[in-house]
Amino acid sequence: MFDIVIVGAGLAGSVLAERLAKSGKKVLVIERRKHIAGNCYDEVDSSGILIHKYGPHLFHTDDANIWAYLSQFTEWTLYHHRVKAVIDGKPVPLPFNLNTLHEVFPSSLADKLEAALLRSFEYGKRVPILELKNSADADLQFLADYVYEKVFLHYTEKQWGLPPDKISEAVTARVPILIGRDDGYFSDHFQAVPKFGYAKLVANMLDHKNIKLLLNTDSKEVMELSGEYLRLFRKRFKGRLIYTGQLDELFDKKFGQLPYRSLDMKFETVEAEKFQAAPVINYPNAYDFTRITEFKQIHPTHSPRTTILKEYPQAYVAGMNEPYYPLFTKEARSAYEKYSAELATCKNITAVGRLAEYRYYDMDDVIKRALEVFAALT
């Protein structure tokens, strides 16, 4: 009945389903949740506000091909993301930039630190905080220590449940200081959100006669990995499996459970037109939550109320919460490599996506990866 089985209806699985179906393949998509679009899933709440159920997703890319591909399935609302961080009780622009510098320091000290930054780095460059900490310049070391303590250290400890030195530099490098005055969080050429939401975008992707969608179904209910071959609906399946779920689950956790971080999402309706000074405000220090998102500032809506989301990081517990982020430690990577080696022995299984490849992908990255996999399969 099917040429391809895809586990997971998030971005990776949906892009591959759409491409393969359009090429003439019969595709079955199996999704554990009751909805499509994975962690990008959004819906309109009781206040008429479009909310992102698994935290804010803001699309941005410099790749014109990815933009053109997605534009087949959605209209766009242009959106340039703004983030602030609360430092000593005051919301200031993030990434930490020259504007932030002058908001948190007296003018004379801010001028001195700005001059030091411009002597050492090209204007417009994003400098990872750990690179700045290694500078020989005493003023830059002072600034690095300040940003590290006020913005980076405690936020990272909350988010990951570990001190920064226990986490891969691939994570720490994502927290830069911007040598410039642009308060925009991203610098990509294309920045927008789907006009009617991500769920609608993905629904349009999956709307093809060659795609069958099975929701609210754990893949192990209908599929079994038996030795070197697969069984689907109790019959041997000779096609290809594209797997976007947790790789340890595919192999019944034979090498142990891979660690992840999760989030407890707390939505609140506020009886006010507007709640905060930016769409997202980070709270690096004094609170248990890491950030507050106000969705009306992402998807403007006429409503006397507003909806906010507070994110509380927590450990991932299988069956209890969602695995949001692979935990990038040396031990975790070593465990993943065992599963990756096991996967290499399965000639008809392809693993794609954040969970299956145990790496961090932005949305444009995972779409690019899915398109690359499609090209390799055809």
Q: Which of 31-45, 177-191, 226-240, 303-317 has the least mean pLDDT?
A: 226-240
330 Cβ contact list (under 8 Å, min separation 6): none
Give the pLDDT confidence of 277-287 residue by residue, as tens digits.
999 999 999 89
Q: Which fold has domain 4-77+192-259+326-377?
A: Rossmann fold (3.40.50)
Least confident of 148-152, 196-200, 280-284: 148-152
Question: Which is it for strands 126-128 and 306-315: parallel, antiparallel or unpaired?
Answer: unpaired
Is pLDDT of 245 > 90? yes
Q: Taking residues 295-323, what's their average pLDDT?
A: 96
Nearest to 168 by CA among 292, 301, 328: 328
Report the alpha-carbon distance of residue 274 to residue 56 in Å, rounded. Answer: 17
pLDDT at 173: 64
Residue indicated by tokens 């000074």: 277
Predicted local distance difference test score (pLDDT) of residue 66: 98
Give φ, ψ of 196 to 5 degrees. -110, 15
Percent of the chain scored above 90 by pLDDT?
Answer: 89
Dist. CA 291–CA 270, nearest whole Å: 16
Residue 87 bridge partners (DSSP) = 90
User: Cα separation of 251 and 254, whole Å?
Assistant: 6
The confidence score (pLDDT) of residue 1 equals 87
What is the pLDDT, as a whole number, of residue 248?
96
Q: What is the pLDDT of residue 164?
A: 77
- Every domain range in the chain assigned CATH 3.40.50.720: 4-77+192-259+326-377
Q: Closest by alpha carbon to 185, among 174, 171, 193, 194?
A: 174
Angle among Cα 48, 52, 53 to the nearest 5 degrees reads: 105
Using the predicted structure, report yes or no on whether residue 170 has a pLDDT greater than 70.
Answer: no
- Residue that has been written with the tokens 């096991």 in this structure: 342
The dihedral through the CA atoms of 340, 167, 90, 314 has a sign that is: positive
Claim: this prediction has a pTM higher than 0.85: yes
- Distance, CA of 68 to CA of 322 (rounded, Å): 31
Where residue 172 falls among pLDDT bands split at 50, 70, 90?
A: low
Per-residue pLDDT reduced to its tens digit, 210-228: 999 999 999 999 999 887 7
Give the integer Cα–Cα distance in Å for 198 and 41: 6
Q: Report percent pLDDT > 70 for the chain.
A: 98
Residue 225 β-bridge partners: 230
Q: Residues 331-348: what's their mean pLDDT? A: 93
Average pLDDT value for the chain: 94
**For residue range 17-57, what is the model confidence (pLDDT) as tens digits?**
999 999 999 999 999 999 999 999 999 999 999 999 999 99
Q: Does residue 82 contact residue 185 with C-beta atoms inside 8 Å? A: yes
Residue 372 buriedness (CB in 10 A; 0-12 / 13-18 / 19+): exposed
Task: For the chain, give the number of residues.
Answer: 378
Contact 166, 331 (CB under 8 A): no
User: pLDDT tens for residues 62-118?
Assistant: 999 999 999 999 999 999 999 999 999 999 999 999 999 999 999 999 999 999 999
Q: Where are the alpha helices (DSSP H) in 210-326?
A: 219-222, 247-250
